[in-house]
């Protein structure tokens, strides 16, 4: 028997020992497992798609809404500033008698009896006119009839050396002199303000020094006069000036005026602080704001303010109380502009964006200005 015959016999024996296998059941079982795996895979894929869709939807819904635009406040309509000229009252037209001006006055100062018109009496072209600068009404002689106390000045400036406060009583169309309260012949250089007090008394703000800038800039005192024994005498107030009179020391400090867009307009806010580092109070103060013409007041904070007529800039003057000694006064201001503000700088002056301050009469003591004006920086975001 050959090797090949031996191999055939061995394989035949093994074949008789192997059981028959039904491959249909195995095929069905295998097919079922494949369907289960496919179903699971499909479900997982569906969940993934749903997750992607859900995530996308959530992302869209979480986008922030555009911020709301806060509109600019409405402009604040301010009254026009009153520019009242001097009212000559009874001195508009009358016959008047002007007493002598004293030895210190110019010899050309008008005196004596003549006709006053619109508050001015001039005898002729060779004489300086007597001008009525102000007056108050008071019954100085106690007869029950009002009298008129006037501040008279010779000429227009200090060069003539003549000022006096004179009381007059009316007699028909004539104003007759009752007497002189005070004048340059009494050693005073300024007497610019009068106040009627009770009992026929009249107070005069007097100064020994003169300045063109106003009586507030030099030491000043209120002295009260009354008619006694046919002449006027001082009845109240100090009788001399101290060597070092107390003063109010004022300075103005503005913050920058920064504008931000508000819809189609621009809104800006700033503060103006006035410091008084001196030893006396200031009763009232005028704060003048000069701003570009595009800028106008808005919102609250503009009480006591008025618009000054000006064609080139926005000019607003505010009357404030104080500041007392060693204190401050602060203005919080809001402004709007319909278009981007364009400040104009001036290499010599203050341009069109600055603030300046000044005391409002009646004064009560000297004022020194450390910083009377300041530029307001303007920027736009």
Q: Residue 24 contacts by C-beta under 8 Å, 6 or more apart in sequence?
A: none
pLDDT tens-digit series, residues 286-329:
999 999 999 999 998 999 999 998 778 999 999 999 999 999 99
For residues 147 and 135, the answer to whether their CB atoms sit within 8 Å is no
User: How far apart, in whole angstroms, are the C-alpha atoms of residue 342 and residue 379?
Assistant: 9
What domains are there in the chain, each with its CATH number? 89-236 (no CATH), 247-380 (2.60.40.690)
pLDDT tens-digit series, residues 186-196:
999 999 999 99
**Strand 247-254 with 366-371, pairing:** parallel
3-state secondary structure 228-269: ECCEEEEEECCCCCCCCCCEEEEEEEECCEEEEEECCEEEEE
DSSP letters for 287-312: EEEEEETTEEEESS--TTEEEEP-SS
Q: How confident is the model at residue 65 (pLDDT cuts 50, 70, 90)?
A: low
Helix (H) or strand (E) holding 30: helix 23-61
How many residues are given for the chain?
Answer: 381
Q: 40 pLDDT exceeds 70?
A: no
User: How far apart, in whole angstroms, are the C-alpha atoms of residue 50 and residue 381?
Assistant: 47
% the chain with pLDDT above 70: 82
Give me the pLDDT at residue 38, please: 46
Per the model's pLDDT, the better-predicted residue between 349 and 258 turns out to be: 258
Q: 5 pLDDT exceeds 80?
A: no
- Using CB atoms within 10 A of its CB, is residue 224 exposed (0-12), middle (13-18) or buried (19+)? middle
């Amino acid at each position: 028997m050959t090797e090949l015959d031996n191999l055939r016999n061995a394989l035949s024996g093994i074949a008789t020992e192997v059981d028959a296998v039904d491959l249909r059941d195995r095929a069905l079982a295998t097919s079922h497992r494949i369907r289960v795996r496919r179903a699971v895979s499909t479900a997982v894929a569906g969940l993934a798609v749903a997750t992607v869709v859900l995530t996308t939807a959530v992302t869209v819904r979480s986008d922030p809404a555009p911020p709301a635009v806060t509109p600019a406040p409405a402009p604040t309509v301010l009254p026009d500033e009153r520019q009242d000229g001097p009212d000559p009252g009874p001195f508009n037209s009358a016959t008047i008698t002007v007493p002598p001006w004293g030895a210190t006055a110019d010899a050309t100062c008008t005196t004596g009896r003549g006709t006053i018109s619109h508050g001015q009496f001039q005898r002729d072209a060779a004489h300086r006119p007597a001008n009525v600068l102000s007056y108050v009404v008071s019954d100085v002689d106690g007869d029950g009839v009002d009298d008129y106390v006037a501040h008279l000045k010779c000429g227009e400036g200090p060069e003539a050396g003549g000022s006096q406060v004179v009381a007059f009583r009316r007699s028909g169309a004539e104003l007759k002199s009752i007497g002189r309260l005070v004048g340059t012949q009494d050693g005073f250089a300024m007497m610019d303000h009068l106040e009627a007090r009770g009992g026929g008394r009249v107070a005069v703000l007097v100064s020994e020094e003169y300045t063109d800038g106003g009586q507030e800039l030099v030491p000043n005192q209120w002295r009260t006069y009354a008619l006694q024994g046919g002449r006027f005498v001082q009845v109240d107030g100090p009788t001399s000036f101290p060597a070092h009179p107390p003063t109010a020391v004022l300075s103005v400090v503005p913050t920058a005026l920064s504008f931000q867009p508000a819809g189609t307009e621009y809104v800006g806010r700033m503060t103006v602080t006035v410091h008084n580092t001196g030893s006396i109070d200031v009763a009232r103060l005028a704060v003048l704001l000069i701003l570009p013409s595009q800028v106008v007041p808005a919102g609250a904070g503009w009480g006591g303010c008025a618009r000054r007529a000006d064609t080139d800039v926005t000019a607003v003057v505010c009357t404030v109380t104080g500041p007392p000694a060693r204190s401050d006064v602060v203005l919080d201001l809001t402004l709007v502009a319909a278009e981007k503000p364009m400040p104009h700088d001036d290499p010599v002056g203050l341009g069109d964006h600055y603030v300046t301050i000044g005391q409002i009469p009646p004064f009560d003591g000297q004022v020194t200005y450390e910083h009377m004006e300041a530029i307001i920086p303007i920027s736009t975001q």
